[in-house]
Every structure is written in C-alpha cells, then in structure tokens.
Chain A
Amino acid sequence: MAGLLHLHSTLLPSASALRRRAGAPAPSSSRRCFRVEAKIREIFMPALSSTMTEGKIVSWTAAEGDRLSKGDPVVVVESDKADMDVETFHDGFLAAVLVPAGESAPVGSAIALLAESEEEIPAAQSKAASFSSGASSSPPAQETAAPEASAPPPPPPPPAPVAISAPAPPSPATQGGVRVVASPYAKKLAKDLGVDLFSVTGSGPGGRIVAKDVEAALAAPKKAAPVTAARPDVPLGSTVPFTTMQGAVSKNMVESLAVPTFRVGYTITTDALDQLYKKIKSKGVTMTALLAKATAMALVQHPVVNSSCRDGKSFTYSSSINIAVAVAIDGGLITPVLQDADKVDIYSLSRKWKELVDKARAKQLQPHEYNSEGRKWCFGYSVVNLKMKGTFTLSNLGMFGVDRFDAILPPGTGAIMAVGASEPTVVGTKDGRIGIKNQMQVNVTADHRVIYGADLAAFLQTLSKIIEDPKDLTF
C-alpha cells in the first residue's frame, strides 16, 4: 500500500520529502522510466519445479506477431512434473519463436523473443536469426529489414511454427493428386527423417511404402542434384521397380486406354510470335507461358475443348481454364498447372511458371504451395490425375528439335496438345511466291465422346489466328 501511494505521489512537487521517507525503492522505479534500450526481451525456459533441468515445449499458445499483455499465456511447457501454462511478464509482441513446439530447451535458455512494439519485430527477428541453434525456426530473410528505418511498414509475420508443430496433421496420402500410399509409421518416419516420400520406392503390398523403405531411402547415397542430370545412371542388366511416381504414371497410362481418342494436327506460322517473344523475353516472359496464354485464349471461344467426359454420359464444362504443362524431371514427369491462364496477364503467368518449375525440379514443393485456396497451382503428373485442376494439357518437346509427336490423353481431361519445334520452313505464299516462314506443328489428342473433329478444327484455327497475330497476348 505504501508503495502504491508513493508511486502516485512522485508526481507531486512535494515528492522529495516523501521519497526520503519511503527510502530505497524510489530511485529504481524512477530510473525504469528512462531505461528504453531493453526493448527486445527474451522469454526464458522457466524452472517449473526444483528438479527441472530442461523443459519440453508442448505448444505455443501465442503465434509470432501476436500482441501480448503481461500475464497472457504464451507457451505450454512440459516439465518433469506437469504441463504448465507460462505467462509473459511484459507487454509486447511475440516477435520470434526460438524453440518450436515439440522441442526441448534447458532451463534458463531463451525460447522466444518479445518485442515491445510492432516496429521492433524485424529487429527481434534478425536477432533471432543470430541464435545459432534456434535460427532454423525463424526465416533469416528478415535480417535485411532495417530496424532503424523510420516507421517501416511491419513485414508480414513469418509463418508461425505453431501451425506446423500443432498435433501432427495427417500427412496427405495424396499429394497434388498423386497417390503416395505409405503406411502411418512410414509417413511418421519420413517426416522425422526428412525423407521425401516421392523419392521412395515402396516394397509393401501393392507398392505401398513401409517403414523400412524410408530407412533404406535414407541410407541410400544421396542422388545427384536433379538439375545436373549428366549421364543416365541406371544399373544395367537389372530390374528396377517403379518409384511411386512411376507406378502412378504406369497405372494411369493403362487407364487412358479406356478413352476413345483421336487426333487432329495443324501447322501454325510463328514468325509474329517469335518476334513478340524476342521483344518481351527480357521481361521474363517464356515461350511456354506465351503458348499457354494463347491456348487459354483460344479455349475461351471453344469451351467444348475445355470440357471433359467424367461418366460417359455427359459433358463436364470447366468453369475456369487451367492449363497443365508437362515438365520432365529426374525420374518422371510433373505437370504444374497455370490456373485461370486466360485471365492472368502474361508477365504474371511467366513469373509464376518459372518459380513453380524451379521448385518442382528441385522437388521442394510444400503441401501449402499446392493446396492453399486452390489458387496457386497444382503439383501433379499430366498423365496421372488432372481431375482437380488442369483442364487442358500442353506438352512441348520443341526444345529437343522434335517436329511432331503425339500425346496420350490424361484420364479426366478432354484434350492435350503436343507442340513441336518451330522451324524455318519453305512455304508457298498466296501470291504465288516461295518464302521461308517459321512454322510449328501442333497435334491435339481429344476424347471423341465430347469433342468432335470439327470442334478441334475450329479450335486450332482460332489458336493459329491468335498465334499468327499475337498482339492480344500481351493485352
């Protein structure tokens, strides 16, 4: 009570007299007002019992970026005796979690950083990055943020580790439409050991991945980086079982035989397209993006080519135009999908494409990158399962000099277009002369239950018009 009285009375002129009477506490409390340097505080692993030497973080009740008031629960800690809610002793923002849920830390070590204001979160995060042990839990990218800058807009809070370490979400048995059949323990092991289930060959019943496959995959020498595929490295004279991905491809190839397909080819002059490409290449536009864009624009006018037959009895018209593009990767094939290719502008489309292919090649895809909001894109195999996102598939082998080829229709879609190389070709022009034009051959495979010859012909005519006069591609 006396202390409380005293705090109030320091504001009065007669404070000095009172202070003398109150004694020691006064200087310390008045000094605290000026101590501003300690803006980023560490939250320590508390000692919850006399015998406790280390504690395990059960869960973070606050997420990074959350505003906390003194006394708010921040973290649940499991000690040798019980689980306890640990509260913060100060107001502020939880800036960085240094020890994610599920991990242990010795008593007294920092487990999180608390910033006093929102502006200091970046500074706290850069400080977090310097904690060598806990650095992995907070993105080092934030280091560049200038803490001294005058009122910089606070960066979006990094993904809270809480979300990841909350009671293990069931690992998807399907990833982007490709079924990876792995037993519960195999999935757990793969997660713990950081093994990508896509790279594991299953030896269980029906090619299922079991725990020992994951262990074997970990023990096996690491494959060379997928980008530097130098010489095909195959054990000659032996039988190598399919990987999960290859098994899925095989299964879907066989399934595709049930669809009555036919093919229509077309030769398209690409001089104008090539010129456009040269012009905007420097802006990061790729030929694949241009072709996807052109195809999408043609599909707008021919919705039937964007349809599919699911049940043998009806047309399923897709509400959006999602172009799946086949990309060869080490040991298989993937088809990232460009969503709404007719609506997204060519520059964004190209950026998206590049980013996703790079990731796909490096097999770095995280579930959220192909699952979130169904917006971004989808990781799948053209020949595997496109019922979710791709509505039309492009396969381009032009870069190898292939002039024409023929594609197998992925089950669940209506049509796939095989694109050959664009090459200088001697052509007769309408005015009776002979000239050289760059031409490429495209060949569309379609499901004749829904798409008829005339549909394809009309679609290809539209496509060729767009490509031969590509000004609309750039809006």
Chain B
Amino acid sequence: MQSTAAVSVSASAITSGSGARSEAARRPGGLRVCGLRREALACSSLRISQAPARLAVARAAAAAATNGAVAGSGGFDYDLVIIGAGVGGHGAALHAVEEGLKTAIIEGDVVGGTCVNRGCVPSKALLAVSGRMRELHDEHHMKSMGLQVSSTGYDRQAVADHANNLASKIRSNLTNSMKSLGVDILTGVGTIVGKQRVRYGKVGFPDKEITARNIIIATGSTPFVPKGIEIDGKTVFTSDHALKLESVPDWIAIVGSGYIGLEFSDVYTALGSEVTFVEALDQLMPGFDPEIAKLAQRVLINPRKIDYHTGVFASKITPAKDGKPVLIELIDAKTKEHKETLEVDAALIATGRAPFTKGLGLENINVVTQRGFVPVDERMRVMDADGNVVPNLFCIGDANGKLMLAHAASAQGISVVEQISGRDHILNHLSIPAACFTHPEISMVGLTEPQAREKADKEGFEISVVKTSFKANTKALAENEGDGIAKLIYRPDTGEILGVHILGLHAADLIHEASNAIALGTRLQDIKFAVHAHPTLSEVLDELFKAAKLQPREERGSKPSQPPQPLLKALSFITALLSSSIRDRQR
C-alpha cells in the first residue's frame, strides 16, 4: 500500500524535479525548487503532534548509549553509511547519531568538502579582509565618523594564510565533532556495489566492503568549466585556486556573475584589482530578484573598478604565456558571432558547479545520472532508470542539484535521517535562505517577485510587495551604512510570506527571521506583533512585517485549514511583554 503510493508520487516528482534541477544548476541563486509547499506544511503540522513521541525516541536512543554500542540490526555493519564528508554528510551524520543510528562516513579527500576547504569558509576569510579594507579605504566614510587612518596596505601571503588557517580550523572542528560522537570516518573513495553494499579504498582499488541498512550519497560538486576554457591554475583558474590567493592580478576577468563571481569581485576590488565581468545572460546577477540585482549593480558594481560584458559567452580562454596576456574570446550568446577579444592578467571561471558523481557505481543499481546529477524525489530518495525508488539509497546536496548550497545539503541530510528513523519528512526548499557575502551582503529566501507573480497568475491569487530602506534604520545609519533595501513578497489574503530579499549591512544574518517564518508557516498577522530590540538591524524586517497590508476580512476570518501557531503567538506575546518591561525599566 505504502509502496504504491510512493511510486505514484515519485513519478510526478521526476518530471518536475528535472526542470528544477537544471534551473538550480544554471542559476545557483534561483530558488524555484521543489515547490511542494502545501505538503510540507501539512507535514510540519503533523510533526508537531508527533513531537512528544519523537522526544521519547530520542531519549531512548541516548539512553541506549553512544553510536556503535548497538550494532546495526539485521546483520548490517552500519545503520547508515554516508559517502562524502562535506557539510551535507556531516549534518546527516550528527543527526543520525542523535537518532541512535550506527553511522560511518566515507571520505576520499579531506573532511569538510567544498564548503570548508574550497568554498564558503575560506571565501568568508577573504571577504572579512575585503570588508575591513573597504572600511579603511573609504576616507569619506571614516571622516564622517571622525576617524583618521593614515595609510592602509595588506600582506597577500598573510591574507591567504588567514583563509587557509580558517579552513583547517573548521576542518578539524568538523572532524572532531564526528569523532567524539563516534561516527566512523572511513578513508577512501566509496563505490556502491549493490543493494546496501559499499566498497571503499584507494581510487580504482576499493578493497574494503561494508554493508549498510541505508546509504546517503553526499559527494558534492566541483567547479564547472565550460569547454574551450583552458585552466592553468595560475592565470586562468576556478574558485578552488582563487581561494588560495596566490596572486592579486591587476586586472581579472570573472566569467559568471552569480554569487561566486560577485563575492570574488568584492575581494579582488578591495585588494586593488580591476574586474571585468563576463555574463552570458543579458543581466548581471541573473539569479537574484531583479530589483535587488538592480540595486546591487548600483552599490556593488558601478562605483567600483568593474566593467562588464553581458549577453556574451567566453568561447575560448587561453592562459597567459610567453609574455602574452590571458586572451578571452567573447561571442554573442545568441548569434554566436565573435564580438571581441579581452586581454587581461587573469580569468576566474565562476560559471557554476558540476556534480561530482563519477565512480559512485550507480550503474550497479540501474541509476542513470542526468547531466551528472543523481535523480531523486522530494524525499531525496534516489530514482533508478525506470523511475522507481531505489530502496535505502538517498542522495543529498550538490550531487542531486536541487539547491546547491551547503546548508541545503545539511537540511536534506537531516530530512533523510528523519525518514529512516521512521518519521516521514519533506524539506520545504522554499524556506532555505541563501546569502551572498559581498559588502554589503545580499540574502534571500523563497520566491523572487517575478516567480511569485508567475505563481500567483497560475494559481489565481494576489500578491503584494512592501519595501523598506536601510536608510530608515537607526542602527544602519549609526554604522554609516545606509545602502540597501529589504523587500517582502506576500499574499495579502492569507498573510503568507512568499519571499524576502535583503541587500544591506548584515543581510545574511537578517534573513533567518523570514526563513524561519516560512519554514514554520508563521503568518504576517502573527509575526508583525513580535518585538525587535531597538536599535538593531533586525528592525529592518520588523518594518517590513508591519508595513505589510493584509486584506482585513481574511485576517480576522477563521482559517481552519492553516491554524496560526498558537505557541509562537503566545511566545511572541511573552517576549513582547518581557522586552517592553525591560525597556521601561531601562528608561
């Protein structure tokens, strides 16, 4: 009974999923993925009722002792084997141990994967430097705050070391956290040799075989390099090399203006480089909400030493050699006609990421990748070539391409562990925030305005948009960082939050109030009464929630299908009482 239901669901998921996958792959910022909102909501409310039972299970598991004490039942070596110890695998492993599962993680490279070693983490170190440099360089800014700075400069090697040290630190934190919980870290490349069987070892010689009740593929991705581009790692390189910061070129072309390209443009221009963007689409920053992209261009591109070519492909890139610069052949994205040749000192290829799924042995279980991505349903269950669910096999993170973000991988991993622990769970991808750590930052959750309008047209409801400026926020003005806006897209009839987009100081930290509201199904009519400390940047969101105009009838009317969260309402009321009394006392 259950299995037939699963088959019918998954069959529809394939068709919708493949579209979403290609979309997500092309536009990492785009968030139109797996829009099964209603089910997710139903599921989350289901979970609330299950909460006490779940607690009991967890407690029992904890009591049973740490991982490994109880060997995987049914003769398996492990309850769960995760292939790939990136952020996704790590998140899944930690949650699995919490659920009392005997867990192993196989890693062929270094623990931490792309995010920790070649992605989010080291880039944040470089961006921290970039932020400081920008502040120190902005004489006008400094002067207006009464500060004087004589001269600024930087030591490239020291900056590079900072990034590298941070990566090693986070890597060892990650490793230790898994070790201390008793997750077995198995070194080697994992290959699936059959149902619930994994072999691992050196590349080409997987000599050890283990069995597992459940397997999660979490092998991640590598930088995607379009054909015609020759990478030499010195003058033409990907983010992998760029993060080592072996040089700061005078002039660097960045191919791709998604968030990877944008973050690097922030780093390079802060360190004195000039940047030329090459973007295949007609607009820079194509994955972002158009209004945010427009403002980002005014704040992050136009005033900086950056120019750009849009609507062009880099058809051929030749590294610098024999005294010749890096040559970039640009062709028109539509007509494919040669447009011009750029001569620059270096080129960073930031055209997205390709799944790393070769050598997984998927052919042994009749699974065919789609452009390298492992096909999955909305429960991350791997689908075979015939569209059937492969039992006990899951794929999370960049390898499935649903939403190529570290925290999305981790959330998917946790969702899988929930399922194998006996609780159905579907992750609502529309509640997963994304951030771009430029100065100022950009963050988003849910739908962009055009996506929301499309959805509204299709499903026949109205949407409203409210905006607020960081120039209206006291804390932002105190920091002298008034550049930025926040934008809320919502349904005025139900108060549902469809999307929030922020560009401004600490936007990446601010987004979570909105993403949590979407995840928990909190409505505007409830959250607008939540109190924010004054003066904080959080008041930017407070402003949005309060500015949202709802249709009064609906607001007061009963909503039997989606009851508001009474708990949160009570909590927010208590917080409101508390904080107001505290403030009163302070006065």
Q: Do A and B originate from a single complex?
A: yes
Task: Decide: B307 and A184 in contact? CB cutoff 8 A.
Answer: yes
Q: Which residues of B contact A174 (CB under 8 A)?
A: 340
Contact with A170, one of B307, B324, B471 (Cβ below 8 angstroms)? B307
- Knowing A82-B472, A184-B275, the reply to whether A170 touches B310 (Cβ < 8 A) is yes
Nearest CB of A to B319, in Å? 15
Residues facing A in B419-449 (CB within 8 A) are none
CB atoms of B307 and A81 under 8 A apart: no
Q: How far is the CA of A58 from the CA of B61 in the complex (A)?
A: 60
Compute how far the CA of A174 lies from the CA of B342 in the bound complex, rounded to whole angstroms. 10
Q: Tell me whether A168 is interfacial, beta carbon within 8 Å.
A: yes
Tell me whether A183 and B250 are in contact in the complex, defined as CB-CB below 8 angstroms, given that A81-B471, A81-B472, A170-B308 are known contacts.
yes
CB pair A81 B275 closer than 8 Å: no
Q: How far is the CA of A83 from the CA of B469 in the complex (A)?
A: 8
Chain A residues whose CB sits within 8 angstroms of the CB of B250 once the complex forms: 183, 204-205, 210
Q: Are A184 and B276 in contact (CB under 8 A)?
A: yes
B471 touches A188 (CB 8 A): no
| Assembly CA distance A205 to B307 (angstroms) | 19
Supposing A184-B251, A184-B275, A204-B250 touch, asked if A171 and B471 sit within 8 A by C-beta, the answer is: no
B305 touches A188 (CB 8 A): yes
Task: Say which size band chain B's interface belongs to.
Answer: 20 to 34
Q: Mark A146-189, 1 if CB is under 8 A from B, else 0.
A: 00000000000000000000011011111000010101110110
Instruction: For the complex, give the distance between the alpha carbons of A181 and B325 in Å.
Output: 11
- B277 CB to nearest chain A CB (Å): 9
The answer, among A83, A205, A211, for a CB contact under 8 Å with B325, is A205
A80 at the interface (CB under 8 A from B): yes
Q: Is the CB of A184 within 8 A of B471?
A: no
Contact of A206 among B276, B325, B485 (CB under 8 A): B325
Which of A168, A185, A205, A206 is within 8 Å of B302, CB to CB? A168
Distance of A182 from chain B, by nearest CB (Å): 9
Within 8 A of B (CB), among A121-141: none
A208 contacts chain B at the CB level, 8 A cutoff = yes
Considering the complex, which residues of chain B in the window 313-341 have a beta carbon less than 8 Å from any beta carbon of chain A?
A: 324-325, 340-341
Q: Given A82-B469, A184-B274, A184-B276 in contact, is the A208-B343 Cβ separation under 8 Å?
A: yes
Measured between beta carbons, the chain B residues less than 8 angstroms from A171 are: 307
CA distance A272 to B275 in the complex (A): 60
Residues of A within 8 A of B302 (CB): 167-168
Q: With the chains together, A187 CA to B276 CA distance in Å?
A: 11
Which of A14-59 touch B at CB < 8 Å?
58
Q: Provide the residues of chain B in CB contact with A184, threshold 8 Å.
A: 251, 274-276, 305-307
The answer to whether B453 has its CB under 8 Å from any CB of chain A is no
**Contact assessment for B297 and A167 in the assembled complex, using a CB-CB cutoff below 8 Å:** yes
> Whole-angstrom distance from the CB of B303 to the nearest CB of chain A?
9
Q: Is the interface of B mostly helix, strand, loop or mixed?
A: strand
Q: Shortest distance in angstroms between B345's beta carbon and chain A's nearest beta carbon? A: 7
Q: Is the CB of B307 within 8 A of A188?
A: yes
Which chain A positions have C-beta within 8 A of B276? 184
State in angstroms the CA–CA spacing of A49 and B306 once bound together.
33
Contact across chains for B342 and A173 when beta carbons are under 8 A apart = yes
Interface status of B309 (Cβ within 8 A of chain A): yes
Closest to B253 in A: A184
Q: Specify the chain A residue showing the minimal Cβ separation from B323.
A: A206
Assuming the contacts A173-B342, A205-B325, asked whether A82 and B485 have C-beta atoms less than 8 A apart, the reply is yes
Shortest distance from the beta carbon of A47 to any chain B beta carbon, whole Å? 15
Residues of B within 8 A of A183 (CB): 250-251, 274, 305
The answer to whether A185 touches B274, judged by C-beta atoms less than 8 angstroms apart, is yes
CB neighbours (8 Å) of A80 from chain B are 471, 482
Contact of B469 among A81, A167, A205, A206 (CB under 8 A): A81
Least Cβ–Cβ distance between A60 and chain B, in angstroms? 15
CA distance A208 to B471 in the complex (A): 40
A365-394 interface bits toward B, Cβ cutoff 8 Å, 1 = contact, 0 = none: 000000000000000000000000000000
Report B-chain residues with C-beta under 8 Å of the C-beta of A211. 305
Complex: A372 Cα to B469 Cα, angstroms: 40
How far apart are the CA atoms of A320 and B22 in the complex, in Å? 44
Residues on A with C-beta less than 8 A from B482 are 80
B305 touches A205 (CB 8 A): no
Beta-carbon contacts under 8 Å, A353-368 to B: none
* Docked complex Cα distance between A167 and B485 (Å): 19
Q: Are B340's CB and A82's CB within 8 A?
A: no
- Bound Cα distance from A167 to B307, whole angstroms: 11
Nearest A residue to B276 via CB reads A184
> Which residue in chain A gives the minimum CB-CB distance to B297?
A167
Q: Which A residues touch B469, using CB under 8 A?
A: 81-83
- Pairwise interchain contact A181-B305, C-beta atoms closer than 8 A: no
Minimum CB–CB distance for B450 against chain A, Å = 18
| Residues of the A chain whose Cβ atoms lie less than 8 Å from the Cβ of B307 | 168, 170-171, 184, 187-188
Most buried by B among A83, A168, A174: A83
Residue in B310, B343, B472 whose CB lies within 8 Å of A181 = B343
Q: List 28 A-B contacts (CB under 8 A).
A: A58-B298, A80-B471, A80-B482, A81-B469, A81-B472, A82-B468, A82-B469, A167-B298, A168-B307, A170-B307, A170-B308, A170-B309, A171-B307, A172-B340, A174-B340, A179-B341, A181-B343, A183-B251, A184-B251, A184-B274, A184-B306, A185-B305, A188-B307, A205-B250, A205-B345, A206-B324, A208-B251, A211-B305
Given A81-B471, A83-B469, A183-B274, 15 other A-B contacts at CB below 8 A? A80-B471, A80-B482, A82-B467, A82-B469, A167-B297, A170-B310, A174-B340, A179-B341, A183-B250, A183-B305, A184-B251, A185-B274, A205-B325, A205-B345, A206-B324
Which residues from chain A sit less than 8 Å from chain B, CB to CB?
58, 80-83, 167-168, 170-174, 179, 181, 183-185, 187-188, 204-206, 208, 210-211
Please list the 3 inter-chain residue pairs (A to B) with the smallest Cβ-Cβ separation, ordered nearest first: A185-B305, A184-B307, A82-B469
